[in-house]
C-alpha cells in the first residue's frame, strides 16, 4: 500500500499526531494508500513555510526566472506523464483515455499557459491633468496576494488543483493545498515534481485531510492565509466564506451546477447525441459542467430519447486500463449512496425510467466497486428534486419544449448558473439564446471545449469571481497604483 505524507517546506513529512487515513479504490474497494492526516500544527507549519518562501528566494525572484521554473514544472509533469496517469486512475477509477487525452495534459498546460500570461500581460497607465498644468502619471504594479489556500475536489483532481496552483505560482504567490481526501495521489506526486524542477522550498505545500474540524477548516480559517480559492460544493463554499470573513480575506469559488442542454430540432442530430452523451456521462457524470437537465424541441424528442438510450446502454464498464472501457465507477460508496438516493427519488416522484436506475451486475472481482448505471428519466415536473438539485452522477432528465422563449425560461429556472450547451444549426438563434441564458459558460454545438485564456466561473450559486486568462491575475495579484506628480 502506498504511503502518502504531507509535503511541507519541500519535504514529505508524517502528521505530527501520527494519524493516518485510508484511501480505497473506487473500482474494487481494495485499500490503495495510507495518508497522513495533517493536524492544526502541521497546517501552521505549512503556512509558515509558505510565508517564509514568499519573503525569501521566491519573493525576490525575477519574473523571467519564475516563468522558466514553471515551464520546468510543466516539462517534468510531461516527463512523468505515465506516473500521473497511473496515480489519477488509481484515485478516481476513471478510464485511461480520459486521463491521457484531457486530465493530465491539462495539468501541465496550467503551469505553462499562466506563466506565459504573467510574462506577457501589461499593467495600466494613465496620464492625468492637474490644476497647475504640470500633470501627473499613474501606473499600476501587480503584486502577489501572498499565501493562497487552495481547496480542491475529487472529480478531476489534478486538473482542478493545478488550475489554481499554476496561476497562483505564476503570479508569485505561495500555496498551501488541501486536496480532496478522496484523491490525494497526484498532489503528492506534484511535490516530487516541484523539487525536481527547482521550485524553492515552501512555495508549494500539501496538507491532507478532511473538511470540517480537519485540514480543510484549518487552512481556511488560518489568518496566515491571505486568500482562498475553492472548487467544490456550494454548501461547502458557504462554510468557507464564513471562515474567510474573519480577517476579510478574498475568495474565488467554483461550485456546483445543474446545467441545461438545449437542443433545437434543426441540430446536427448525430453530433448532438454524441455531445449530450459526453456531457451527461463522461467521468461517470462527475463533472461540474455536466448536463443533468436536457431540453429537446418536441419534433425530435422521441427520436432523441431513443438514441441517447442506445448510447447509454452501450457503455463499457471495467478497470481503467482495460481496452475499450469508457465508463468508470463513482468516486466512493458514500457518493454512490447519494446518487442512488436520487435514483429512488426520481421513481418516487413519478419518473419514467428510460434506462438504468440501479447498480450494474459486475464480475465478482469488481463487485465491491462503486458502480452505478447511466440513467435517463423523462416525464418529471420541473419541481422534482432530480430536476432541481445537483446529483453529480451519470444521469439526466429529458423534457420536451415548444418555443425558444419557453426553453430559455426553463434553463434559467435554477439556483445554479454554471454552464449550458446549445445545439442548433441556426447561428442567429445560437447567439440569441446564448445571450439570455444566465450562466458563466455557454457552449454552442460542443461541450467542455476549453481555451485557458477565457474567463471561467459560475453565476448565481455556482460561483464567485472568474479565473482563466488575465482574470486569474485579478484574483492572484493585487493592483497597486503609483501616482507621480510631474
Residue ranges in contact with ligand NAD by CB under 6 A = 151-155, 160, 178, 180-181, 210-212, 216-217, 220, 231-233, 236, 239-240, 254-257, 288, 390, 392, 418, 458, 462-463
Query: Helix crossing, 427-436 with 404-412: angle to 10°?
Result: 30
Distance, in Å, from the CA atom of 110 to the CA atom of 154, rounded to the nearest integer, reads 17
Max CA pair span of the chain? 86
SS3 417: strand
Distance, in Å, from the CA atom of 475 to the CA atom of 244, rounded to the nearest integer, reads 15
The minimum distance between CB 289 and ligand NAD, in angstroms, equals 7
Q: Which is nearer to ligand NAD, 78 or 412 (CB)?
A: 412
Q: Which is nearer to ligand NAD, 304 or 456 (CB)?
A: 456
Distance, in Å, from the CA atom of 295 to the CA atom of 190, rounded to the nearest integer, reads 41
SS3 content of the chain, % helix, strand, coil (to 5): 40, 25, 35
The minimum distance between CB 318 and ligand NAD, in angstroms, equals 24
Around Cβ 102, how many Cβ atoms within 10 Å?
Answer: 17
**Minimal CB distance residue for ligand NAD:** 211
Q: Which is nearer to ligand NAD, 47 or 296 (CB)?
A: 47
User: Which one from 171, 288, 395, 396 is the annotated catalytic residue?
Assistant: 288
Residue written as grid cell 480520459: 98
Q: Which is nearer to ligand NAD, 9 or 152 (CB)?
A: 152
Cell of 51: 510565508
Distance, in Å, from the CA atom of 161 to the CA atom of 175, rounded to the nearest integer, reads 11
The minimum distance between CB 311 and ligand NAD, in angstroms, equals 23
User: Which one from 181, 254, 297, 390 is the annotated catalytic residue?
Assistant: 254
Distance, in Å, from the CA atom of 254 to the CA atom of 232, rounded to the nearest integer, reads 7
* Bridge partner list, 378: 352, 398
Distance, in Å, from the CA atom of 484 to the CA atom of 127, rounded to the nearest integer, reads 10
The minimum distance between CB 293 and ligand NAD, in angstroms, equals 14
CB 196 within 8 A of CB 76: yes
Q: Which is nearer to ligand NAD, 369 or 458 (CB)?
A: 458
* Bridge partner list, 317: 327
Whether 246 is catalytic is no
SS3 32: strand
Q: Which is nearer to ligand NAD, 89 or 160 (CB)?
A: 160
In terms of phi and psi (left: phi > 0; alpha: psi -120 to 50; beta: otherwise), the region of 474 is alpha
The minimum distance between CB 187 and ligand NAD, in angstroms, equals 10
Whether 396 is catalytic is no
The minimum distance between CB 102 and ligand NAD, in angstroms, equals 13
Q: Which is nearer to ligand NAD, 233 or 404 (CB)?
A: 233
The minimum distance between CB 151 and ligand NAD, in angstroms, equals 5
Residues forming the active site: 254, 288
Amino acid at each position: 500500500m502506498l504511503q502518502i505524507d504531507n509535503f511541507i517546506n519541500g519535504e514529505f513529512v508524517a502528521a505530527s499526531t501520527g494519524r493516518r487515513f485510508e484511501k480505497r479504490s473506487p473500482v474494487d474497494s481494495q485499500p490503495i494508500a495510507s495518508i497522513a492526516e495533517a493536524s492544526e500544527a502541521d497546517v501552521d507549519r505549512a503556512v509558515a513555510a509558505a510565508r517564509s518562501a514568499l519573503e525569501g528566494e521566491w519573493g525576490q525572484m525575477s519574473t523571467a526566472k519564475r516563468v522558466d521554473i514553471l515551464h520546468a514544472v510543466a516539462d517534468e509533469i510531461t516527463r512523468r506523464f505515465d506516473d500521473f496517469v497511473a496515480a489519477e486512475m488509481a484515485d478516481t477509477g476513471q478510464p485511461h483515455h480520459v486521463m491521457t487525452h484531457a486530465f493530465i495534459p491539462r495539468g501541465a498546460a496550467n503551469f505553462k499557459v499562466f506563466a506565459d500570461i504573467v510574462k506577457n500581460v501589461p499593467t495600466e497607465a494613465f496620464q492625468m491633468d492637474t490644476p497647475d498644468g504640470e500633470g501627473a502619471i499613474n501606473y499600476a504594479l501587480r503584486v502577489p496576494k501572498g499565501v493562497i489556500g487552495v481547496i480542491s475536489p475529487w472529480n478531476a483532481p489534478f486538473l482542478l488543483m493545478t488550475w489554481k496552483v499554476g496561476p497562483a505560482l505564476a503570479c508569485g504567490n505561495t500555496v498551501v493545498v488541501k486536496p480532496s481526501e478522496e484523491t490525494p495521489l497526484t498532489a503528492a506526486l506534484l511535490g516530487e515534481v516541484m523539487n525536481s524542477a527547482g521550485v524553492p522550498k515552501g512555495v508549494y505545500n500539501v496538507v491532507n485531510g478532511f473538511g470540517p474540524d480537519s485540514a480543510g477548516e484549518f487552512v481556511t480559517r488560518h489568518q496566515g492565509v491571505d486568500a482562498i480559492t475553492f472548487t467544490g460544493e456550494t454548501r461547502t463554499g458557504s462554510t468557507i466564506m464564513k471562515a474567510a470573513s474573519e480577517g476579510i480575506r478574498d475568495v474565488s469559488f467554483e461550485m456546483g451546477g445543474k446545467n441545461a442542454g438545449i437542443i433545437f430540432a434543426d441540430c446536427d442530430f448525430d453530433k448532438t447525441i454524441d455531445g449530450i452523451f459526453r456531457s451527461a456521462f463522461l467521468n461517470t457524470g462527475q463533472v461540474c459542467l455536466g448536463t443533468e437537465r436536457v431540453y429537446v424541441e418536441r419534433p425530435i424528442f422521441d427520436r432523441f430519447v431513443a438514441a441517447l438510450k442506445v448510447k447509454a446502454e452501450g457503455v463499457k464498464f471495467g478497470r481503467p486500463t482495460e481496452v475499450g472501457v469508457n465508463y468508470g465507477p463513482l468516486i466512493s460508496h458514500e457518493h454512490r449512496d447519494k446518487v442512488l438516493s436520487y435514483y429512488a427519488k426520481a421513481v418516487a416522484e413519478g419518473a419514467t425510467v428510460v434506462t438504468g436506475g440501479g447498480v450494474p451486475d459486475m464480475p465478482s472481482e469488481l463487485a465491491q466497486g462503486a458502480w452505478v448505471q447511466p440513467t435517463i428519466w423523462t416525464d418529471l415536473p420541473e419541481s422534482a428534486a432530480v430536476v432541481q438539485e445537483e446529483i453529480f452522477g451519470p444521469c439526466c432528465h429529458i423534457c420536451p419544449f415548444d418555443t425558444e422563449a419557453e426553453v430559455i425560461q426553463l434553463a434559467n429556472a435554477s439556483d445554479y448558473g454554471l454552464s449550458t450547451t446549445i445545439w442548433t444549426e441556426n447561428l442567429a438563434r445560437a447567439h440569441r439564446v446564448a445571450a439570455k441564458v444566465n450562466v458563466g459558460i455557454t457552449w454552442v454545438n460542443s461541450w467542455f471545449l476549453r481555451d485557458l485564456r477565457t474567463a471561467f466561473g459560475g453565476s448565481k450559486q455556482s460561483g464567485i469571481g472568474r479565473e482563466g486568462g488575465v482574470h486569474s491575475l485579478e484574483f492572484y495579484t493585487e493592483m497597486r497604483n503609483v501616482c507621480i506628480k510631474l
